[in-house]
């Protein structure tokens, strides 16, 4: 299960945005949202044009990155945040598999080409 997701420099995310699925402290009111001490169900809500859809695109970037499937081709235009100090978008996924955790990071440039990649098992 996804334990942590972080993104920066992608679309409207100039600074790092993180979703920590291991932060279950306030979910005691609804234990059905927790599985293996990770949040298994969340809701993202907010005003129009604040980045909810772009957060979904960022989380699913890994699909087009690791396979030949592009989830939504036209929505990945204007890939980088123009105000970012870096000339790349940075993605970080931490995935829990039973007792092991896979930490996967990569950077892509404005052509959506891979320029950095690091994976580790902890």
Q: What is the CATH number of the domain that holds 43?
A: 3.40.50.300
- The arithmetic mean of pLDDT across residues 92-121, rounded, is 93
Confidence of residue 91 (pLDDT cuts 50, 70, 90): very high
Q: How far apart (Å, rounded) are the C-alpha atoms in residues 58 and 54?
A: 6
Q: What percent of the chain has pLDDT over 90?
A: 53
User: For residue range 52-69, what is the model confidence (pLDDT) as tens digits?
Assistant: 999 999 998 888 778 877
- The arithmetic mean of pLDDT across residues 16-36, rounded, is 85
Domain with 64, as residue range(s), is 2-121
Q: What percent of the chain has pLDDT over 70?
A: 95
Q: How far apart (Å, rounded) are the C-alpha atoms in residues 30 and 16?
A: 28
pLDDT at 40: 86
pLDDT at 121: 96
Q: Domain total for the chain?
A: 1
Q: Measured in whole angstroms, how far is the alpha carbon of residue 54 from the centre of its chain?
A: 10
Looking at per-residue confidence, does 67 or 45 come out higher? 45
Confidence of residue 49 (pLDDT cuts 50, 70, 90): confident
pLDDT at 71: 64
């Amino acid at each position: 299960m996804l334990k942590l997701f972080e993104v920066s420099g992608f679309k409207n995310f100039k600074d790092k945005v993180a979703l920590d699925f291991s932060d279950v402290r306030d979910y005691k009111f609804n234990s059905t949202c927790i599985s293996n001490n990770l949040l298994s169900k969340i809701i993202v809500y907010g005003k129009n044009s604040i980045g909810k859809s772009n957060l979904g695109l960022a989380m699913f970037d890994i699909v087009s990155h690791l396979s030949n499937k592009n989830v939504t081709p036209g929505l990945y235009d204007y890939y980088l945040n123009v105000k970012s100090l870096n000339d790349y978008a940075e993605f970080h996924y931490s995935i829990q598999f039973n007792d092991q955790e896979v930490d996967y990071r990569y950077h892509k440039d404005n052509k959506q080409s891979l320029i950095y990649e690091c994976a580790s098992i902890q």
